Amino acid sequence: MPLAKRIIPCLDVDHGKVVKGINFINLKKAGDPVELARRYSDEGADELVFLDITASSEEREILRGVVEGVARAISIPFTVGGGIRNVSDARLVLCSGADKVSVNTAAVENPQVITKLADIFGQQCVVVAIDAKRRYEQRADKITVKTREGQVWYEVYTYGGRKPTGSDAIKWVLQAAELGAGEFLVTSMDRDGTEDGYDLELTRTVSERVNVPVIASGGAGKPEHFLEAFTDGKADAALAASVFHYNKYPVPVVKEYLRKERVIVRP
């Protein structure tokens, strides 16, 4: 029997408050992380992702007290990312109540950290987050999507979407998988906060190239978008923020829609 698809609310946390923007900018406060976490757990979310979005750019440790508060409020698996640079940072987060750690900037700058984390804590604990953005180029009188080897070129960004790396996202996915990534959280920066739907090409390309779970992220605006992520995008899980934070389509509504479309989801 196929594994159930997972619905995952995301808490983007900036100095203790949940925020949400569009394309990683124009951030607005969206609520208290502990209160939102408790609500999502009670509503039947399958997991929760907590991202301290300014920890890396500010070169500080993650907000341990907030992580502990969220962990006490929920009864579902909990992934924490942002500012995790090494084994010590990961151990601190896991000891604060997280079930998994998410690494992005540290993994790009020091890929071997993926292997170290997987060796010490287990591959299932290591989520590699990838913030990817389409590259564009000027051709004649129009701007077109840049391609490499016949595929759209998605560039990897680090430091909470602030720093372009010049690295190809798909090639980075393959390298990270070999190093021991247990799961990928793939966020389309182009779709983030737009509520126009996930970047299905990006999600599908990653899903077809790796043998570990892939979480689609960036762009969910209605239940149909979750369905597309699971069917066209071939994702194992779908993450969203705005659609849940502002109660447009609560978790139970999304799950009921998916059941009607014969997608296997948990109660």
Tokens of 37: 């976490």
Distance between CA atoms of residues 168 and 156, nearest Å: 6
Distance between CA atoms of residues 51 and 175, nearest Å: 23
Neighbours of 151 (CB within 10 A): 11
Distance between CA atoms of residues 221 and 239, nearest Å: 11
Tokens of 223: 């239940």
N- to C-terminal Cα separation, the chain: 16
Element containing residue 172 per DSSP (H, E): helix 169-179
Active site residues per annotation: 12, 131
Residues 164, 167, 172, 176: what is their CA dihedral angle, to the nearest 10 degrees? -60
Say if residues 80 and 102 touch (Cβ distance below 8 Å): yes
Question: 3-class DSSP state for residue 104?
Answer: coil
